[in-house]
Amino acid sequence: MIIAKVAVYALKNVRSKQLKWKKIMNNKKQILEGSHAVALTIKNIAPAVVSAYPITPQTHIVEDLAKFKADGEASYEYVRAESEFAAASIILGASAAGARVYSATSSQGLLLMTEVVFNIAGMRLPIVMTCANRAVSAPINIWCDHSDVMSMRDAGWIQLFAADNQEAIDQHILAYKLAESLRLPVMVNIDGFILTHSYEPVIIPSAADIKKFLPSYRPTIGTYLNPISPITMGAFFTPEYYLETREALHDDLQSSLKTIAKENKLFKKIFRRDNGLIEYYGPKKPTTVLVAMGSVVGTILETIKNNKQLAATTGLLKIQVYRPFPREEINKIISRAKNIAVIEKAISLGQAGPLYSDLKAGLGVSSLNIKNYIVGLGGRDITQKMIASIIKDAPQKNQTIKFIGK
């Protein structure tokens, strides 16, 4: 009996020291795995319900969240689901009941959620979900590209893309503010393995600092299921009314660009980091601008920095918000250049890269020479040598769409 009491006291003492250490480490730079960093951020955001189904390379995030719950470090309800479809349905129901929720998925798991993902947007539920980007089958491939999320680009979600793990942390905090203020779901995309399983120096904002930007979630009456004030969600709409619902969702997504820019200003003021629509690196009047999103941005930037000649003539435009598409902001940058090279890790089979197609559709300058380079499919390495070859090829009047890396 005495031994048992001593053991319990020792365990409580260890946990107390662990919690104290973790409190001290909040807001301090530390080297963490990307998935663990995201999980710590979600814990500090404090959703009421977490539900997920494990799928590589997303698994570490939800494993950590489950451990936080088991260790008594978090108070959210953690619901183990039997599939990704079920996990998405659980957070849909919890959000519809007025709770702050979270889930994460990847690749085939996201595809299995498709019906629910569209329902979430159509019901205007403020859900945040992480997609650890991974190629889709067949053939089976567990490595990173953007094929999974591109299959959902028309679902009605705000879609954010992180270039590194600090951006991933910050975008999750921003995502909840956007989702809950706009009543639109937000998907944060982080490159599988390249970011989820890599260790980088990051700062995890404390729960107290997060609250300065993101208040506790208190949905207003009439926006969630409540027996005192009943509403209907996901009702049956005939042809006379359905079109207007899609138009309204489309308009609200486009209008959210202003809100994203506005909230980023507040985020920057509190956390001293920028997380806007786009970010440009390079000369004011570049000859060539490379357009990309996700972790490949780091490789591109290093390629340019390591060559003085390229640095003097080449710019990089990083897309952080892909949906809604920030057409005007992009045009302001690319209109300065002669050549545009869109570098992306996805292909709309039979057409072109999705980012390239979107950029071309919204192009305000018809005289630009714009080319599409498909890289990194199925996790193929993207090297500085490949980026340098793209920069060299961009001004050439040859094939518009190229697969690089063969």
Closest-CA residue to 125 (of 92, 85, 162): 92
Looking at residue 348, the DSSP 8-state letter turns out to be B
Both 398 and 306 in one domain: the answer is yes
- Asked if residue 3 belongs to a domain, the reply is no
The counts of H helices and E strands in the chain are 15, 15
Q: What is the CATH number of the domain that holds 119?
A: 3.40.50.970
216: enclosing H helix or E strand? none
Closest-CA residue to 155 (of 104, 103, 119, 179): 119
Q: How far is CA 106 from the centre of its chain?
A: 12
CB of 386 closer than 8 Å to CB of 375? yes
In the chain, the amino acid numbered 270 is I
Per-residue pLDDT of the chain (406 residues; tens, 9 = 90+): 455 554 445 445 545 544 544 555 677 999 999 999 999 999 999 999 999 999 999 999 999 999 999 999 999 999 999 999 999 999 999 999 999 999 999 999 999 999 999 999 999 999 999 999 999 999 999 999 999 999 999 999 999 999 999 999 999 999 999 999 999 999 999 999 999 999 999 999 999 999 999 999 999 999 999 999 999 999 999 999 999 999 999 999 999 999 999 999 999 999 999 989 999 999 999 999 999 999 999 999 999 999 999 999 999 999 999 999 999 999 999 999 999 999 999 999 999 999 999 999 988 656 789 999 999 999 999 999 999 999 999 999 888 999 999 7
Both 336 and 251 in one domain: the answer is no
Domain around 36:
28-270
Number of domains in the chain: 2
The Cα 108–Cα 17 span in angstroms is 40
Domain termination residue (choose one: 270, 295, 312)? 270
Both 240 and 292 in one domain: the answer is no
Quote the tokens at residue 254: 């486009």
The Cα 404–Cα 382 span in angstroms is 9
pLDDT of residue 83: 98
pLDDT of residue 189: 98
Closest-CA residue to 194 (of 66, 40, 299, 305): 299
Both 224 and 337 in one domain: the answer is no
Both 204 and 324 in one domain: the answer is no
Any idea what the Cα angle at residue 93 is, between residues 206 and 50, rounded to 5°? 30
- Asked if residue 309 belongs to a domain, the reply is yes
Domain termination residue (choose one: 230, 252, 270)? 270
pLDDT of residue 17: 47
- Asked if residue 296 belongs to a domain, the reply is yes
Domain termination residue (choose one: 252, 270, 288)? 270
Average pLDDT over all residues of the chain: 93
Looking at residue 29, the DSSP 8-state letter turns out to be E
Q: How far is CA 139 from the centre of its chain?
A: 25
| 384-393 and 296-305 helices, crossing angle to 10° | 70
- Asked if residue 198 belongs to a domain, the reply is yes
- Asked if residue 53 belongs to a domain, the reply is yes
Both 302 and 386 in one domain: the answer is yes
pLDDT of residue 2: 55
Which residue stretches of 53-164 are H helix? 59-70, 84-96, 107-112, 114-122, 147-150
Both 201 and 315 in one domain: the answer is no
Regarding beta strands 288-292 and 339-344, do their DSSP bridges make them parallel or antiparallel, or are they unpaired? parallel
Q: What is the CATH number of the domain that holds 351?
A: 3.40.50.920
List phi, psi (to 5°) of 128: -115, 130
Both 147 and 238 in one domain: the answer is yes
The Cα 311–Cα 303 span in angstroms is 9
Q: Which residues contact 10 (CB under 8 A, 6 or more apart)?
A: none
pLDDT of residue 366: 67
The Cα 214–Cα 171 span in angstroms is 12
Both 339 and 213 in one domain: the answer is no
pLDDT of residue 21: 46
Both 67 and 191 in one domain: the answer is yes
